[in-house]
């Protein structure tokens, strides 16, 4: 049996941005539960449950995603009805963000991972089992200088669960390890 790993490539917030996002998630009204602070991220490419060799390939080549910091203004709240999540994202995503997401998709392809065609919708999930937020504008917006890309394993043996950063590129700080939710 092939060992599988459930992985994704993401932008990882610095501690100050992570704290702001966590505070925002906890102040939103209505049903739902905040995403654990250590799990807040902006997905660039979700590889899913892949053979361990493909996850290792992503970890080996993550340096290809090193980039200059991207200035993100998270000024919009939204909701994905089917997933029942509330999120924050940029109203006007910078072109560099879409380019980085495309490079993440290409890295997955390089490692033999075929991703389904889907538009890139940059967002950070704030709450699960949530209803739509009462408003779309996020004031004041969260300013984020996004400079760290990580490869995260979610769970074990290809099944969802706690996050574990297995590789990163970007600034020198280490992303926080995460406790079990």
Q: Is the pLDDT of residue 177 over 50?
A: no
How far, rounded to the nearest angstrom, does the alpha carbon of residue 178 sit from its chain's CA centroid? 14
Q: Known catalytic residue: 41?
A: yes
Question: At 77, is the secondary structure helix, strand, or coil?
Answer: strand
159 pLDDT more than 70: no
Q: Which pLDDT band holds residue 147 (cuts at 50, 70, 90)?
A: very high
The pLDDT confidence band at residue 130, using thresholds 50, 70 and 90, is very high
Q: Is 115 helix (H, G, I), strand (E, B) or coil?
A: coil
Q: Which tens digit of pLDDT belongs to each residue from 55-68?
A: 999 999 999 999 99
pLDDT at 30: 84
Strands (E), the chain: 4-11, 33-34, 42-51, 70-80, 85-90, 124-128, 137-146, 149-156, 159-169
Q: Which CATH architecture describes the domain 4-169?
A: Alpha-Beta Complex (3.90)
Q: What is the pLDDT of residues 3-30, one digit of tens each?
A: 999 999 999 999 999 999 999 999 998 8
* Residue 123 appears among annotated catalytic residues: yes
The three-state secondary structure class of 109 is helix
Q: Give the domain ranges of the chain.
A: 4-169
In whole angstroms, what is the distance from residue 71 CA to residue 50 CA? 31
| Active-site choice (67, 79, 110, 123) | 123
């Amino acid at each position: 049996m092939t060992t599988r790993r459930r992985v994704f490539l993401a932008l990882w917030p610095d501690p100050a941005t992570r704290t702001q996002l966590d505070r925002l998630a906890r102040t939103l009204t209505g049903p739902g539960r905040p995403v654990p602070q250590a799990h807040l991220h902006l997905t660039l490419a979700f590889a899913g449950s892949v053979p361990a060799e493909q996850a290792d390939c992503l970890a080996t080549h993550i340096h290809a995603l090193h980039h200059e910091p991207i200035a993100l203004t998270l000024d919009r709240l939204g909701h994905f009805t089917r997933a029942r999540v509330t999120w924050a994202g940029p109203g006007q995503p910078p072109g560099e963000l879409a380019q980085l997401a495309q490079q993440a998709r290409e890295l997955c392809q390089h490692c033999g991972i075929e991703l389904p065609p889907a538009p890139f919708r940059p967002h950070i999930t704030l709450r699960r089992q949530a209803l739509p937020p009462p408003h779309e504008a996020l004031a004041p917006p969260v300013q984020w200088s996004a400079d760290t890309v990580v490869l995260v394993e979610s769970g074990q043996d290809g099944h969802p669960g706690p996050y574990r950063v297995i590789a990163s590129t970007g600034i020198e700080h280490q992303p926080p390890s995460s406790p079990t939710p």
